Homo-oligomer: A and B are copies of this chain.
Amino acid sequence: MWGDLILYLLLEGFVLNLIIVENTDSVDGGRYRLGGERAEHVFGVLKSKVGDELRVGMVDGGKGVGVVEAISKGEVVLKCEFEEKAESMQVGIDLVCALPRQQTVKKVLHSAAAMGVGRIFFIRANRVEKSYFEASVLEEDNIRRFLIEGLSQGGKTAMPVVSVHRYFKKFFEDELGDVEKNFGGYDVKLLAEFSTEKMLSEFDLGVGKRVLLAIGPEGGWVDFEVGLMEGVGFEKFFLGPWTLRVENAVVAAIGQIELAVNGYGK
């Protein structure tokens, strides 16, 4: 799974802000052996040498420093110390996103991981094409690839949990209720919508709140959908006087929630 990711990053020319390691990379005594292409990144892009220190992050764990103990084009051994505890977000944001086209799914996964989203629910909606559910990006390995890319970029380690839901009504009437029962309820459920002037400033947001944010398809939700979502507790808010691409709507909305909670709500 690392091959395409690193190739992509190399093509894009980005440098990872955090080298993500997993338990399965562990050798012994805090040593982690990284696969061919992560090694390629450390060797070819970062041009690290033995003794260099790299920022590392353990999936769903802490961040720390990895000292390069051995390096080649094919393999890197890092001796890692994870000094920092896994971060706990001050705002817990989960995301409901009408399933967009494949290229947009990748960007949403990337940004959501980089911005610390906990769960991502991709759902069907009237303006979601059925064929989108067959996209290869939704295969587990591919989802994980773009999430890890986002974690690396964002300097985060908490891997979002992603699920795909093929039935709009069933999601809101059954499945979401089960999630709330098992993992705790949401304090505020938000729905970005043009038919309101109510901005996030008018919601009861504050540190520690659990927020569920819903972002619609490119053409917007249909009335029936907005009605059904309001019926299960969603409230409409006005994001701004723009029609944004889905990936930008996600980023703008999370940015606003962060400000509303930690800027004004503390």
Contacts from A to B (Cβ < 8 Å): 12-15, 17, 89-90, 101, 103, 111, 114-116, 153-156, 199-202, 218, 239-245, 248, 251-256, 258-260, 262-264
Alpha-carbon distance A155/B220, docked complex (angstroms): 14
B243 touches A251 (CB 8 A): no
Inter-chain contact B243/A258, CB cutoff 8 Å: no
Given contacts A12-B103, A114-B244, A202-B263, list 7 more A-B pairs with CB under 8 A.
Answer: A90-B241, A111-B244, A153-B245, A199-B259, A199-B262, A240-B258, A253-B255
Q: Please name all residues of chain B whose beta carbon is closer than 8 Å to the beta carbon of A256 when the two chains form the complex.
A: 255-256, 258-259, 263
Which among A103, A154, A155, A251 has the highest number of chain B CB atoms within 10 Å?
A251
The residue of chain B having its C-beta at the shortest distance from the C-beta of A197 within the complex is: B262
**Choice from B14, B253, B255 contacting A218 with Cβ under 8 Å:** B14
> Which of B17, B153, B243 meets A114, CB within 8 Å?
B243
Partner of A244 from B154, B199, B243 at Cβ < 8 Å: B154
**A254: shortest Cβ distance to chain B, in Å?**
7
Nearest B residue to A18, CB-CB = B243
A73 → chain B closest CB, angstroms? 25
Q: How far is the CA of A110 from the CA of B139 in the complex (A)?
A: 30
Whether B252 pairs with A199 at a CB distance below 8 angstroms is no
Bound together, the chains give a CA A90 to CA B197 distance in angstroms of 14
- A200 and B252 form a contact (CB under 8 A): no
A257 to B116, CA, bound (A): 21
Hey, which chain B residues are within 8 Å of A263, CB to CB?
199-202, 256, 260
| Interface core residue of A245, A251, A259 (most chain B CB under 10 Å) | A259
Cα(A211)–Cα(B174), bound, Å: 45
CB-defined A-B contacts under 8 Å, sample of 8: A114-B245, A116-B242, A155-B243, A199-B263, A200-B263, A240-B255, A256-B256, A256-B258
Q: Which 9 A-B pairs have the closest CB atoms?
A: A252-B255, A201-B263, A199-B263, A240-B258, A255-B255, A256-B259, A251-B251, A155-B243, A248-B251
Bound form: Cα–Cα A239–B259 in Å: 8
In Å, the complex CA distance between A256 and B251 comes to: 10
Q: Closest residue of chain B to A102, judged by CB?
A: B13
